[in-house]
Chains A and B, each alone.
Chain A
Amino acid sequence: MPPAAELIDATKKYGEIEALKGVTIRIELGDVVAMLGPNGAGKTTSISLLLGLRKPSSGKALLFGLEPTNLRARSRVGVMLQESGVPAMLKVREIVDLFRSYYPKPMPRERAIAMAGLEEKANALVKELSGGQRQRLYFALAVCGDPEVLFLDEPTVGMDVEGRRSFIERIADFVQMGRTVVLTTHYLEEADQLAKRVIVIDRGVVIADASPQEIKSRVAGRRVRFVSPALNEKDLEGLPVSAVTINDHRVQLLTNQPEGVLRDLFRRGVEISELEVAGADLEEAFIVMTRH
């Protein structure tokens, strides 16, 4: 069986700008994938190629082994895009029914609306919805066809913390149904909470493709924090650290050998207080990986 979605050595140029420089990604049914990367890294371009919204300049994009523009392939996919609009003069239930009619085996209208938490707005016109509600409507439209694969491009962008949290739960519900989810985000905690697999894209290249745990451990095992008023940069020379941030005497180091780092610091006579050693989180891993 062909994979759900696949990019094979895909490149994409917009005029002179090379947005993707040979990306190969294979997404199997059942995968829950987060595509991470700074703005302009090529996440949205990758999704656009997989959905047939853009054509690769070279290489291939496939959905269920078919051209992404093939309607049979598309009928197995639900989509939530950044900055897309829907008709303002339709009611929520009308537009959900409209999108359901595009798919061969849609879920009941009420269920799609409930999954998005829009029960109370079912009879409201789209133009009356708030920004967050509109975002949830896009989610209802993405899931209403009961798709095997759900593509979400920056689904929580512009939401507040509470909105993001409840939205992540809704996506998690969909994952619970055993479906495939591909989402792009620059919120690392989202990737950490949802995804079983993280693909890090930077400047048009895949720089990591692994589980969140693996990525965390690969980059920097431990985070060492301490306060040192008299630290100078020479004190840190030659230490086995992958990232250093110094902020108002507060020092943070990422390292795979915290014991060795501390031994060297003490040997050099560096005064430290408030020492703290902890596992690095995905955010720190990410900063290290995409540091230019």
Chain B
Amino acid sequence: MLLRQTWAEFLKLWRVPAFSATSIFLPVVFYAFIGIGQANQTLQGTHVKFGAYFLASMAVYSVANVMIFSFGISVAAERGMKMDLLMRATPLPPLVYLLSRCITAIVFAALTLAVLFPFAYIAGGVRLDTSEWFTLAYRVLLGSVPFIGLGFAIGYLSGPNSAIAVINLIYLPTAFASGLFFPKQLLPQIIQNISSYLPLYRFGQLGWNAIGVPTSESIATDWLYLAGYGVLFFAIAVWAYRREESRKFS
């Protein structure tokens, strides 16, 4: 049942090119435009190449992107089309439903990395130790969990047509503000002040640290921030879910 549900969830997303193509190839396109040209420049005060630095940025960006979009859009769309109603009348355990979604999102996230990593290796000439590749991959996948909560929360709080707009409005600016596209030092001072508190910035720190960029604080702090945001996002998601529950199904 879990396998079937996961396969169905995967096909549903896979067959929407607006989701599958953008989430898998957009990071590569960004990498080609921004990363490759200066891939061999060394970051100030470190031995890390920009190519590797930007790979970590894009890995963080694309995985968080998958989590927020796959949950946010599909939850909102299914609410809009009343699919949740029929599902609710079947003997499908809600936990299986939730798990199948999470697995699908992780598979998609892994797919984006499976495209991004070789691209950076070949086109950007990025060379990392085996352990660094693995550290980057697992940190990025694990650190994306809070964004599942954010995706759910947006999916339950916004309408089926506004979900995409809401997500873009939140996600893109915070990605910029967190230094995922340009190093934080290039951003206006006021944004730099805020950015250390943003979940994506903390997530980015984990990625950059994985490939050898020295970070000012211990990465335990970053994990702690992400855990805190995770609790907050899931709390909002549960609250929004309950609110909908009491409205539609009581």
User: A84–B85 contact, CB under 8 A?
Assistant: yes
Are A97 and B249 CB-contacts (below 8 A) given A79-B90, A81-B85? no
- With most chain A CB atoms within 10 A of its CB, the pick from B16, B90, B250 is B90
User: B78–A74 contact, CB under 8 A?
Assistant: no
As a 0/1 sequence over residues 123 to 148 of chain A, the CB contacts with chain B under 8 angstroms (1 = contact) are 00100000000000010010001000
CA separation between A145 and B1, bound complex, in Å? 13
CA separation between A86 and B81, bound complex, in Å? 8
User: Is residue A55 contacting chain B, with contact meaning CB distance below 8 A?
Assistant: yes
Task: Flag the segment in A34-42, A98-106, A213-221 that touches B.
Answer: A98-106
As a 0/1 sequence over residues 129 to 154 of chain B, the CB contacts with chain A under 8 angstroms (1 = contact) are 00000000000000000000000000
CA separation between A77 and B250, bound complex, in Å? 21
B88 CB contact (under 8 Å) in A53, A77, A86: A53
Total number of A-B contacts with CB less than 8 angstroms? 71
User: Is residue B22 contacting chain A, with contact meaning CB distance below 8 A?
Assistant: no
User: B83–A94 contact, CB under 8 A?
Assistant: no
Query: Which residues of B in the span 202-250 have a Cβ within 8 Å of any Cβ on A?
Result: 249-250
Query: Which residues of B in the span 150-172 have a Cβ within 8 Å of any Cβ on A?
Result: none
CA separation between A153 and B164, bound complex, in Å? 33
A85 CB contact (under 8 Å) in B4, B5, B81: B81
User: A81–B89 contact, CB under 8 A?
Assistant: yes
User: Is residue B92 contacting chain A, with contact meaning CB distance below 8 A?
Assistant: yes
User: B8–A85 contact, CB under 8 A?
Assistant: no
Query: Which residues of B in the span 1-42 have a Cβ within 8 Å of any Cβ on A?
Result: 1, 4-5, 8, 11-12, 15-16
User: A79–B89 contact, CB under 8 A?
Assistant: yes
User: Is residue A289 contacting chain B, with contact meaning CB distance below 8 A?
Assistant: no
As a 0/1 sequence over residues 79 to 111 of chain A, the CB contacts with chain B under 8 angstroms (1 = contact) are 101011111111000110111011100000000
User: Is residue A51 contacting chain B, with contact meaning CB distance below 8 A?
Assistant: yes
Prevailing SS type, chain A contact patch: loop
User: Is residue B91 contacting chain A, with contact meaning CB distance below 8 A?
Assistant: yes
Task: Give the residue name and chain of the A residue nearest to B246 (CB).
Answer: A55
Are A99 and B90 CB-contacts (below 8 A) given A54-B250, A90-B12? yes
Task: Give the residue name and chain of the A residue nearest to B11 (CB).
Answer: A90
Interface residues contributed by chain A, number (CB under 8 Å)? 32
Task: Give the residue name and chain of the B residue nearest to A138 (CB).
Answer: B86
- Closest chain B CB from A68 CB (angstroms): 9
- Closest chain B CB from A116 CB (angstroms): 15
User: B82–A85 contact, CB under 8 A?
Assistant: yes
Task: Give the residue name and chain of the A residue nearest to B250 (CB).
Answer: A55
- Closest chain A CB from B206 CB (angstroms): 34
CA separation between A75 and B93, bound complex, in Å? 11
Are A94 and B91 CB-contacts (below 8 A) given A55-B250, A86-B83, A101-B5? no
User: Is residue A71 contacting chain B, with contact meaning CB distance below 8 A?
Assistant: yes
- Closest chain A CB from B3 CB (angstroms): 8
CA separation between A95 and B78, bound complex, in Å? 15
- Closest chain B CB from A108 CB (angstroms): 15
User: B249–A89 contact, CB under 8 A?
Assistant: no
Instruction: Report chain B residues within 8 Å CB of A54.
Output: 249-250
User: B83–A98 contact, CB under 8 A?
Assistant: no
CA separation between A77 and B88, bound complex, in Å? 12
CA separation between A234 and B163, bound complex, in Å? 66
Are A98 and B8 CB-contacts (below 8 A) given A54-B250, A86-B83, A89-B16? yes
**A residues neighboring B (CB under 8 Å):** 51-55, 71-72, 74-75, 77, 79, 81, 83-90, 94-95, 97-99, 101-103, 125, 138, 141, 145
**B residues neighboring A (CB under 8 Å):** 1, 4-5, 8, 11-12, 15-16, 78, 81-83, 85-86, 88-93, 249-250
Given A83-B85, A89-B15, A101-B5, 5 other A-B contacts at CB below 8 A? A53-B249, A84-B82, A85-B83, A95-B8, A141-B86
